[in-house]
Chain A
Amino acid sequence: AQKVTQAQTEISVVEKEDVTLDCVYETRDTTYYLFWYKQPPSGELVFLIRRNSFDEQNEISGRYSWNFQKSTSSFNFTITASQVVDSAVYFCALSLTQGGSEKLVFGKGTKLTVNP
């Protein structure tokens, strides 16, 4: 089965704490793509990052960082010094190729609440 598991349903932290959101995926493909999206209370999904399976280098963008480990099929997301504006639902997704078409398989999301 090709799927994405986000085991943490909800996480609550206090502002300025670091927080890591876990994502574990399963796929038979040797070439695949992983994504993280943020869904604030307004509902729109905001793209955060795209990573292909051949690039295991960790990435940092400001307070955000991503740790991709093929050996454990994980693509975890860390927010450093969290802020109230980081409160949202975060989705991890896997790009799946079927019959020449591509689609995204999403995890169920992790709701992050950052308290002041």
Chain B
Amino acid sequence: DGGITQSPKYLFRKEGQNVTLSCEQNLNHDAMYWYRQDPGQGLRLIYYSQIVNDFQKGDIAEGYSVSREKKESFPLTVTSAQKNPTAFYLCASSMNPALLPGDTQYFGPGTRLTVL
């Protein structure tokens, strides 16, 4: 089945620790995205990548880092510099926004991160 997987589903972290959230897609999509969702809020863009080995900051990149070494993988690291990391994190992908403007983004099931 083609789709986007995120792991783990639930993640607990102690303050001061870095943690990495996994996102994998087998849709052969070029672009991948990370969003953060807080209760009662819409999604806010953290980072996005339109092609392997390239990524850009979104609206709330501070305290986060990413890598895009493979087309199918876009892991997100939440560092200790992120002051309020407890949130629901969603990964998405789309085919190729440079060639297909307004292309649909498809989302994974999300990871709920809680800082203890």
Contact = CB atoms under 8 A, between A and B. Distances in A.
A101 B56 contact: yes
A114 B98 CA distance: 40
B16 interface: no
* Residues of B in contact with A, size category: 20 to 34
Helix, strand, loop or mixed for chain A's interface? strand
B112 interface: yes
A95 B58 contact: no
B25 interface: no
Interface residues of A, number: 27
A30 interface: no
B102 A95 contact: yes
Given A43-B110, A101-B56, A101-B97, A33 B102 contact: yes
B104 A43 contact: no
Contacts of A103: 33, 45, 48, 58
Interface in A1-48: 4, 9, 31-33, 35, 37, 42-47
Nearest to B42: A106
B90 interface: yes
Nearest to B58: A103
A65 B90 CA distance: 27
A43 B48 CA distance: 20
Given A91-B42, A101-B56, A32 B109 contact: no
Given A44-B107, A101-B50, A102-B101, 18 more contacts: A9-B40, A32-B102, A43-B90, A43-B109, A43-B112, A47-B107, A50-B102, A91-B43, A95-B101, A95-B102, A102-B102, A104-B45, A104-B105, A106-B42, A107-B42, A108-B42, A109-B41, A109-B42
Interface of A: 4, 9, 31-33, 35, 37, 42-47, 50, 52, 91, 95, 97, 100-104, 106-109
